Structure 1
Amino acid sequence: MKLAAVILAAGRSSRFENGHKLLAEIDGVSMVRRVCSALAQSKIGDIILVTGANDDRVAKAAGHGRWRIVENPDARDGLSTSLRAGLRNIDPTSDGLLVALADMPGISSALIDTLVSAFEINPDAIVFPASPDGRRGHPIIWPRSLFAALQTVSGDSGGRSVVADHRDLWRPVACDDPGAFADIDTRADLATFIAPDQPTRRK
């Protein structure tokens, strides 16, 4: 089975005060590189990092690794444009697509591999981590059968509408790893994430 991944990293980081959140360092490693590295150390095959056009700061912060950079010139039109840019550039023979958010530095290669294993058993399903209280987390793996539907999404909701339309395909994976549910939007979020007593912290 062949699985590709797209990391969405083209947002403007408008809520992160005085800086770009994906450039922020945690234990000396930029947020975007932490996410890229987690995927690179997993069983995922082709990895694409989608960044905004005319600003190479995120690509530079990600550095070199087992991922390719794709620029999205339409990033201002919402998250969906980055998803489509990634889909256009993955290996067309991929059986599934893992979509990760670059502002979730707590995701781990172990979590990704757990999701991949679940997808290998259910290759026609939408696979995602689910908390004990029922929250859906990230990353999410999409089956090839829904690639066309993902190409039609618009705005800033990503694939949320497609998820809602295909509840019959849901295969949630029980997950108590808080890194699957913690995204960073503000400096306060980052401070909470890096606090020594926070279970989301990853070294």
Structure 2
Amino acid sequence: MTAGGAVAGRPVVAAILLAAGEARRMRGRDKLLEAIGGRPALRHAAEAALASRADRVLVVLPPEAAPRREALAGAAVEIVVAADCTEGMAASLRAGLEAVDPGTDAVVILLADMPEIGSEAIDRLIAAFDPAAGREILRATAADGRPG
């Protein structure tokens, strides 16, 4: 890693997979555990992130998530618990962002209930990010428009 966080001349990118939602519309079933091609949707989404050029993959889960943890067993992901996930997606996003290393240059936010987003799409986002050329995909700003 170099001073700007870059590895071998490229930005360090973390993927945050948001998987802490309650899936209330599924009438008791967990949509992230629904089988797609014999594997849970959550596993598909995690494997796509792992197959991408992201340097780290963090999966944000609710506190009580044993079945979701089982679906991720053996995957080289880092689990982040969003204790306040019942407050909504912003709480999960906050938990994921707080777990990102300070030397990380960019973050790709992924939704676990979109298992058909493959590594190729994630890699296109990562490739499009080039802060040296002023090509941020999305950048947070303060109310007055200043980056921050």
Q: TM-score range by the shorter chain?
A: 0.7 to 0.9
Matching of residue 66 in structure 1 with residue 76 in structure 2: yes
1:31-70 → structure 2 map (5 Å cutoff): 31-70=41-80
C-alpha deviations, 1:127-175, integer Å up to 9, x for none? 2xxxxxxxxxxxxxx55xx3x86xxxxxxxxxxxx9xx97xx9xxxxxx
Structure 1 residues 27 and 114, CA gap change in structure 2 (3 angstroms) = same
Alignment correspondent of 1:110? 120
Letter in 2 for 1:95: D
Percent of residue pairs identical: 32
Equivalent position SS for 2:107: strand
Equivalent position SS for 1:15: helix
Matching of residue 85 in structure 1 with residue 98 in structure 2: no
Of residues 36, 40, 45 in structure 2, which corresponds to 1:30? 40
C-alpha deviations, 1:29-76, integer Å up to 9, x for none? 100010000010010011100000023221211222221101111010
Of residues 93, 101, 110 in structure 2, which corresponds to 1:100? 110
Letter in 2 for 1:100: L
What is the TM-score of this pair, normalised by structure 1?
0.61
C-alpha root-mean-square deviation of aligned residues, in Å? 2.4
1:148-187 → structure 2 map (5 Å cutoff): none
Q: CA deviation at 1:91?
A: 1.4
Higher RCO (C-alpha 8 Å, min separation 6): 2
For these two proteins, the number of residue pairs brought into alignment is 136
> Could you list the runs of 5+ residues in structure 1 that have no partner in the other structure?
128-141, 150-161, 170-203
Letter in 2 for 1:116: I
Contact 1:33-1:63 at 8 Å conserved across structures: no
